[in-house]
Chains A and B, each alone.
Chain A
Amino acid sequence: MLIELKNIFKWVNSGGNRFFLLKDINLKIEQGAFISVMGPSGSGKSTLLNILGMLDTFDEGDYYFNGQPVHQLKEKYRSRLYKEHIGFVFQAYHLIDELTVYENIETPLLYKKVSSPERKALVSDMLDRFNIVGKKDLFPAQLSGGQQQLVGVARALISKPKLLLADEPTGNLNSKQGAEIMELFKRLNQEDGVTVVQVTHSEKNAAYGSQILELLDGRIISK
C-alpha cells in the first residue's frame, strides 16, 4: 500500500463559520495504480492532490505514505519524503523561465546532490526518452505549450519518483498534445510501475486511468 488516507478533514474559518474544503476523505492507493480525480470546479480536487503531495496540510485525520505516518512527521522529514518519492506536474507547467530545458530537468538532481557525471547521464536519458534532445538549450518561452509540459513531466520523473501527481496536466493543451501526455502517463504507469494520480475535467483523459475518483463539495462520492 503506497498511500492510505483515513478520515481526512480540511477546513478554513471564515467569519466564525467553518468552511470545509475536504470532508472525511478515506482513500487507499496501491503501488502501480493510475487514478483520475474528477469533479466540478471548486469540489476540492486540487486541495486533495496538494495534500497527497504534502504541499498542503490538513486539519484532521491520518495520512500514511509508504507506511509512514505523514501527519506525525516534522516538516523536515515530510519534505525529505516528497523529495525522494513524489514528482509534480502542473497545469501551468511552472518551469523556471531563466533556465534552459536541460537545466530545468537537471534542477531536482542538484537538490539531491547527485554527482555531475551521473546528472549528465540521467538528463541525457530523459531528453532521449522524451525526444527533446534538440530543444535542450532552449528556454521555456521558446517552446510550445505541449513541449513545455513535456519538459515538466520529464523534470518530475528525473528523480525516479514512486508517485506522480498531476493537476490538470493537459488543461492548457489542445487535444492532440493532451493525448500525447496521456499516452506518456500510461506508458510510465505500465512499463515503469509509477503510481499516477491526475486531476482532469475530461472523461476521455480520465479513461486512461484504471480508477476514477469523483469529488463533490469536498467529499468522495464514488470510487
Chain B
Amino acid sequence: MIKNYLKIALRNLWKDKTFTGLNMLGLTVAFTVAILLSVYALFELSYDRFHENIDRIYNVYTTAQSPDGPEVSTAKPIPFALALQKEVPGVEKITKYNGGNVLVTYGDKQLRMEAAYVDPDFFSIFSFPVIKGNEQHLVEDESSIVITQKTAKTLFGEENALGKTVNILQQGRQRPYTISSILEDIPTQSTMRFHLALNFKNQSDFVYADNLTNWEKSNHRVYLKLSEGVKPSQFEKATRSFTALHREKFINDLKRDGVLPDTNGQYIQQRLLPYKDIHFATEKNGTARTSRLYPYLVLGIAFLILFIASANFINMSIAKSSGRLREIGMRKTLGANKFQLFFQFWGESVLIYSLAVLMGIGLAHLLCGQFQTVFRTAASFTNVMGPLTIFAFFTGVVVITLIAGGYPALFMTKLGILQSLKGKMEASGKNRLRDGLLIVQFGITILLISGTMILWDQLEYMRSKDVGFNKEQVIAFPLNGKREDAQAMQLLRNELANTPGIVNITASNNILGLGKDGTSSTSAMGFDYKGRGVTTNILIVDHDYTETLDLQILKGRSFSRDHKSDSLGLVINQAMADALQEKDPLRAHIILNDTVRYSVIGVVKDFNFQGFDKTIAPLTLFLNPKWNMRNVYVKVSGSNPLQSMDRIERAWAKIEPNAEFLGSFLDENIDRTLIKERLMTKMIGSGSILAVILSCVGLFAMSLLVVNQRRKEIGIRKVVGASVATITILLGKEFLKLVGIAFLIAAPLAWWFSFQWLQGYVYRIDLSVLTFLFAGGIVLVIAIATIGTKTIGAALQNPAKSLRTE
C-alpha cells in the first residue's frame, strides 16, 4: 500500500514538474532562510545560558533620583559588596568585577589583553570551568592568575602554561604573576569576556587600595548569587535600610536639592538585574529594561517566510486538487476509506516537505559561513544545537506539514463520492481560504518592505545627521602601546609635524562613536553648584581638541597653550550651560574636591558625544594632557585622506612597534555604533526580498492555474468578442483586489510597529504616508507584472486552440 502511494506520489510530482518545481524551490529557499534566521535568533537568545546558576545570578545596580529624573548606575563603591553580603540577608555569594586592558609580557612577547579583576567567589557564581591546574580557590592568591585555554595558546603555544610566570604592567612597573589554572575557553554566547582573571585587589591603588572605606567613589560592578528561595523584589526591599545607612550624606544632599523620592519614598534604590537578561538590557527611566525584540523579530521573520511558502503550497495543492478529484472518487468506489485517502494525500505533502527540509538544512549548512560574515555573527549550528532545539525544530516541521499538507488533503477527501467523480468542486469556501492566504501573504510582504524602508531611512538619517563635529576628516585610534600616554602623544606630534595632509592632533580619554577596538566608556560626575546638585559628563582632553574636531565655539574661547591657567579652565557644552542656569556662563566657577576652583572659559555648541538614542547631555571638558588619554584624534586635510591614514599608521608603528594600529575615521566609528540597526535592516531587508520572491512564485502559480482552469471560458469570451485588455483585466482583477485589501490591513500595522520602534530614538525620522504607499505600490507593480506574464498570454491565444484543448 505504502509502495503504491509512494509510486503514485512520485509519478504525480513528476507529471506536474512546474508545480513541483515551484513548490520545492519556494519551500527549500524558505526553509534555508528560516533555519539560518532561527539559528541566529536562538544564538542571541541563548546568551549567558551556560551558567549553571543563571537563574540566581544578578547584577546589582542603583536607581538614584536626580533633578532630571531617576538615573541608573551599575558602578559600586569598594566597600559595597562585602557590606551588602554581611548586612542584608539573602546573598549566598557576591563578587566585585572590573574589566580592564593590561599589557602582558612573556619573554619577548608583549600583548594587550582583556583582564577581569574579580573576587575569588566569582568562580563559584559563574560557570567558567577549570580544565587544568588548581580547581578551587582561584585567584585567592594575589600573585597568581587564571587564564583561558586560548590565552595559554597565544602566550605559550604548545608549552605547558601551568606554573609559568608572566609580567603584567601595573602602575608603571612590571609585576610577576604565576599561572595557577587554565579555564575552558569562554563560550561564544558569553557577555562577559576576558583573557585572564586576577584578584580584584591587584588593581592600582587609585582604584582599590585608596578607596577601601570610601563610599563616595564608584568604580566597578557587583554580581551576586541569591540564596535559594529569595525573591529579588524581596531582596531589593530589604536593602533600603542598608542604603540609608551607608549613603546618608548623598541622600541628604538630594533632599536639600529638593529632589523628589520615588513612589516608595526612596532616593536611592538598589536593584537586581537578572544576569540572564544582561545581554538584552537597556536603561530606560531609571530602571533596566530588557528587550529581546531583535531576536524575536528575526524569529518572527523566519516564521513569516515559512508561512508565505506554506500558504503557496496550500493554495497550489487546493487549486490543483480538482485534477485529482476523479482519482479520489474512483478510489472511494474501489473501497478506500477517508483515512486511507487522507494519508495518501497528506503523505505526498510530507514527501515534498521532507525533501525541502533536508535540502534546506543542507543549504543552510553550506551558507552558514557567508551568513556569519554578512550578518557579523558567530551564530552557527554547533552553538545552538541541543536536544531541545532539535526536538522543537522537528515538532515545528511536523506541525507545519500537518497543517499545510493536512488541510488540502482533508479538503479533497471530505467531498462526496459522486461529487468527486464529477471532478467538480463546489466553488464556495475554497476561494475564501485562498484569498485569505494571499491577503496575509501580501500583507506580510508590505509590512516587511515598509519596515525595511523605515529602518533604512532612520539609519541613513543617523549616519548623515550633523553630529556637531567633523566626522569625515578626523581619524581616531587608541593609544594601545606600552609608552606612557603623554609621552606617546609628544612623539606622535613630533613625528607628524610638517607632514603634508595632517592638520591637527589631539587626544582625549573617550572615543566618539565606537572605535575599531570596540570599546567605549563614559564618565560623569556630580557637584554642588549654588546650592543645587548638577551632574555632567566629563571629558578629559589634550590641547587642540575643539580645533581638531571642529567644535563650534559659541562663547568665550577654547583651551590654549598661551594660557597657563587653562588647566583650571572648563569648556562646557550648551546643555551644561543651560544646567548651570547662568545668564553668562563664562562667569561660572565650580569648586571640585572641596578646594579646587575651576572657571568656565568657553561654551561649545552641543554635539552628539553619545548615541542617537540619548538627548545631548551636559558635558564638561577638562584640559589635562597628563591624564590617561586612551585615544588620539588626527584631523587630516580633505585631499587624499587615505594617504594621510597611511602616514599616521607608519608614524605610529615607529613609536609603538608592538602595538596594532586601529585607526578609523569618525564616521566609521559612528557607523559602528549603528551595527544593530544595520543588521536589522539587512535581515528585514533580505526577509522582505525573499517574501516578495516567494509571494510572486505563489502568485505566478495561481495565475497559471486560473488561466488553465478558465481556458475554455477565455476562449468563449473571445469568440463572443471580448478584447485582450478586458480579458487580462478580468483575470488580474481578483488578485489586485487582494493586494488592495492587504495594503489596508498591513499599512496601519506597519505604521504602528515603526512608530513604536522609533520611540526608542531621540533623533528620529518623521513617518511619512508616502513610505507605506510606496511599499504598497512596489507590491502592486510586482503583482501586476507576475500575473500579467500568464494572463496576457492566455488572452492573446487563438480561441479556436483553447476551445479545442478542452
A residues neighboring B (CB under 8 Å): 50, 53, 55-56, 79, 82-83, 88, 90, 94-99, 103, 106-108, 110-112, 155, 159
Contact = CB atoms under 8 A, between A and B. Distances in A.
A155 B334 CA distance: 9
Interface of B: 1, 4, 7-8, 11-12, 15, 326-327, 329-337, 340, 417-418, 421
B418 A56 contact: yes
Contacts of B327: 96-98
Kindly name the residue among B8, B335, B421 whose own CB sees the greatest number of chain A CB atoms within 10 A: B335
A216 B11 CA distance: 45
Nearest to A46: B418
Contact of A79 (B329, B335, B421): B335
A94 B331 CA distance: 10
B8 A111 contact: no
Given A50-B418, A111-B340, A98 B12 contact: yes
A103 B418 contact: no
A112 B335 contact: yes
B333 A88 contact: yes
Nearest to A103: B4
B421 A99 contact: no
Given A96-B330, A98-B15, A99-B8, A108 B418 contact: no
B4 A107 contact: yes
24 contacts: A50-B418, A55-B333, A55-B417, A79-B335, A82-B333, A83-B334, A88-B333, A90-B421, A94-B330, A94-B421, A96-B331, A97-B327, A98-B12, A98-B15, A99-B4, A99-B11, A103-B4, A103-B7, A106-B4, A107-B4, A107-B331, A111-B335, A111-B336, A159-B335
A73 B421 CA distance: 23
A53 B335 CA distance: 12
Contacts of A88: 333
Contact of A55 (B8, B12, B326, B418): B418
A104 to B, nearest CB: 9
Nearest to A152: B330
Nearest to A80: B335
A50 B421 CA distance: 12
Contacts of A98: 8, 11-12, 15, 327
A111 B334 contact: yes
What 6 A-B pairs are tightest by C-beta distance, nearest first?
A83-B335, A111-B335, A98-B11, A108-B334, A94-B330, A55-B417
B585 to A, nearest CB: 88
A153 B11 CA distance: 24
A110 B4 contact: yes
A96 B333 CA distance: 12
A111 B337 CA distance: 8
B307 to A, nearest CB: 30
Kindly name the residue among A56, A95, A96, A159 whose own CB sees the greatest number of chain B CB atoms within 10 A: A96
Nearest to B10: A98
A111 B421 CA distance: 18
A108 B11 contact: no
A94 B333 CA distance: 10
A94 B335 contact: no
A96 B8 contact: yes
B385 to A, nearest CB: 40
A151 B25 CA distance: 38
Contacts of A95: 330
A57 to B, nearest CB: 9
B340 to A, nearest CB: 7
A150 B329 CA distance: 19
Contact of A94 (B1, B7, B326, B340): B326
B6 to A, nearest CB: 12
A55 B421 CA distance: 10
A179 B380 CA distance: 72
A79 B337 contact: yes
A53 B11 CA distance: 31
Contacts of A96: 8, 327, 330-331
B11 A107 contact: no
A12 to B, nearest CB: 13
Given A55-B418, A96-B331, A159-B335, A110 B7 contact: no
A99 B11 CA distance: 8
A96 B4 CA distance: 12
A83 B335 CA distance: 5
Contacts of B4: 99, 103, 106-107, 110
A11 to B, nearest CB: 16
Contacts of A107: 4, 331, 334
Nearest to A112: B335
A103 to B, nearest CB: 7
Nearest to A57: B416
Contacts of B333: 53, 55, 82, 88
A110 B1 contact: yes
Given A94-B421, A98-B11, A110-B1, 4 more contacts: A55-B421, A96-B327, A103-B4, A108-B334
Kindly name the residue among B334, B340, B417 whose own CB sees the greatest number of chain A CB atoms within 10 A: B334
A219 B133 CA distance: 101
A107 B334 CA distance: 7
B469 to A, nearest CB: 72
A179 B409 CA distance: 40
Contacts of A108: 334-335
Contacts of A50: 418
A82 B332 CA distance: 10
Nearest to A159: B335
Contacts of B12: 98
